[in-house]
Amino acid sequence: MAQRVAIARALAHRPALLLLDEPFGALDALTRLQMQDEVIKILEVEKITTILVTHDIEEAIYLGDQVVVLSNAPGRVRAVFPIGLRRPRNRTSPAFGALRNEIYRELVGHRW
């Protein structure tokens, strides 16, 4: 509930830019999926540019228009993956899985 309130409070000001840092990290799996869908609905209606920080590759693909992979300290851009999948996105589609695997390979293929 605290996460929902925090997101609602941030959206109440109708910001031009919304920064979300691991907003669903403390949620159980089902609530996390529901909140991701709710945020998508809100952002599509409100047209708010959003930067989402997450360690969850599937979440990044599901919510984002592009995924930026950063290096460890100092944080530098290692790779940018445009997400060319139509919404609503299907997490079980071959295209989603291929993109997830490509991003995963980028993450594990470099030393931290």
Quick check: pTM over 0.95? no
Could you give the CA distance from residue 47 to residue 55 in angstroms, rounded to a whole number? 24
Both structure tokens of 87? 């919404």
Confidence of residue 74 (pLDDT cuts 50, 70, 90): confident
Listed range (5-9, 21-25, 67-71) with the worst mean pLDDT:
5-9
Q: Which residues of 27-65 are buried (b: 16+ CB within 10 A; e: fewer)?
A: beeeebbebbeebeeebeeeebebebebeebbbbbbbbe
Residue indicated by tokens 């030393």: 111
pLDDT digit string, tens, across residues 32-50: 999 999 999 988 899 999 9
- Specify the higher pLDDT residue, 80 or 75: 80
pLDDT digit string, tens, across residues 76-112: 999 999 999 999 999 999 999 999 999 999 999 855 4
- In which element (H, E) is residue 69 found? strand 66-70
pLDDT digit string, tens, across residues 50-66: 999 999 999 999 999 99
- Specify the higher pLDDT residue, 74 or 65: 65
Establish how many alpha carbons lie within 13 A of residue 29's alpha carbon, considering only the half-sphere containing its beta carbon.
1
